[in-house]
Amino acid sequence: MSVGTVLITGGTGYIGSFTTLALLDHGYKVVIVDSLYNSSKVSLDRIELLCGKRPDFYQVDITDEAALDKVFAAHPNIDSVIHFAALKAVGESSEIPLEYYRVNVGGTITLLRCMSKYNVPNIVFSSSATVYGDASQHPGMIPIPEHCPIGPTNPYGRTKSTIELVITDHINAQRNNLKKAGKPYEHWNGALLRYFNPAGSHPSGIMGEDPLGVPFNLLPLLGQVATGQREKLLVFGDDYPSKDGTAIRDYIHVVDLAKGHLAALNHLREKNPGVRAWNLGSGRGSTVFEMINAFSKVVGRPLPYEVVERRAGDVLDLTANPSRANTELGWKTELTLEDACEDLWRWVSNNPQGYRQDPPKELVEAAKAAAKKSA
């Protein structure tokens, strides 16, 4: 099947920038809309350095229907959307839930309305393993399959499970309405991608996660401990019923995650499955202590930590059963958490200021040479 033009919301952010790169590498044209609320336009330069192509970019808030409408009007070839734009701080979502519902749910509704108006039938949505909540409560649900009961434990997670329902209802309605009218309907499709714990950076060392403000995920925090920006890691609880008492997660390299979007998009466009959920994870669970050890090994010295109370809302085990994505999408993780640690360390040690500094010249030259070779 031919490649097309894809609109990516949140495309300058962490996972969005890696997915943009994967799509451009595979011949897709990409149009990004992002408000830059939690990202920088510098990521566009890094994408261009790595693949020799630059996506179109619009600084647009997805809740602004008039502005979004103009982007669709200017790009009549868009046939699919990959939707990342969202607020994602779990703790903050309990403090300002209405803002989370306004941006995440309201923004998605605005996006779907534009997609309907401009006849854009495919949506790939950034959902999260957080929609499962505490899967260890249900017998036989670890590793977690897609049919595990949904039960998020915080407002952020509830915006994700709500959006899954909104997309499902909308795509099903589009299909049913067209079917009733005797028109082709199979081209309306949706992928609900439930990511486990994204981690790592680009192996070139020039593109990675650069959140504005204080990070709250384990690996970026460990990165700050390693660079000396943070004194020690606080380990949230060592009294879980796991092998070493710390909680278990399925860390997935962001480069693999980006390829998962490409696989899902191609599947929607080629196989027309309607709406379907897929877990994107490795199937390998790792404890917090195992992650500290893996990252310390890469850094070459033990990283300081202190065990404190459990963090509210944390669950024992979020490990994916990724077989559905493996068989249906023909996708599986190829990189390990050790690769993610190595790549993260190359990124943070060379770019402690993230995108607010230039990367070392030798990394830029190596990236340019690699891009030229693969062109």
Residues that bind ligand NAD (CB under 6 A): 10, 12-16, 34-39, 61-63, 84-88, 103, 107, 126, 128, 195, 198, 217
Q: Of the ranges 210-218, 252-260, 278-286, 366-374, which one interacts with ligand WQD (CB under 6 A)?
A: 210-218
Of 209 and 342, nearer to ligand WQD (C-beta) is 209
Based on C-alpha coordinates, what's the Rg of the chain?
20
218 binds, among ligand NAD, ligand WQD, none (CB under 5 to 8 A by kind): ligand WQD
* SS3 letters across 238-299: CCCCCCCCCCEECEEEHHHHHHHHHHHHHHHHHHCCCEEEEEECCCCCEEHHHHHHHHHHHH
Nearer to ligand WQD among residue 239 and residue 365 (C-beta): 239
As a whole number of angstroms, the distance between CA 35 and CA 111 comes to 14
Catalytic residue numbers? 156
- Per CB under 6 A, the segment of 13-21, 212-220, 224-232, 276-284 that binds ligand WQD is 212-220
C-beta of 252: minimal distance to ligand NAD in Å?
Answer: 9
Single-letter amino acid code for the residue at 64: D
Residue 300 to residue 350: CA distance in whole angstroms: 16
How far apart CA 141 and CA 246 sit, in angstroms, is 19
Contact positions with ligand WQD (CB under 6 A) in 243-302: 247, 249, 288
**CA-to-CA distance for 339 and 341, rounded, in angstroms?**
5
Contact partner, 61, from ligand WQD, ligand NAD, none, Cβ < 5-8 Å per class = ligand NAD
Among 311, 324, 332, 368, binds ligand WQD (CB under 6 A): 311
Please report whether residue 314 would count as binding ligand WQD according to CB under 6 A.
yes
Residue whose CB is less far from ligand NAD, 311 or 368: 311
Part in contact with ligand WQD (CB under 6 A); list of ranges 70-78, 186-194, 234-242, 365-373: 234-242
Taking residue 106's Cβ as centre, other Cβ atoms within 10 Å add up to 17
Of 253 and 269, nearer to ligand WQD (C-beta) is 253
Element (H, E) at 117: helix 107-117
The residue whose two tokens read 């995650």 is: 257
Rounded-to-integer distance, Cα 28 and Cα 21, Å: 10
Q: Which residues in this chain contact ligand WQD in the complex, by CB under 6 A? A: 88, 90, 128, 130, 197, 216-218, 221, 233-236, 247, 249, 288, 311, 314, 318
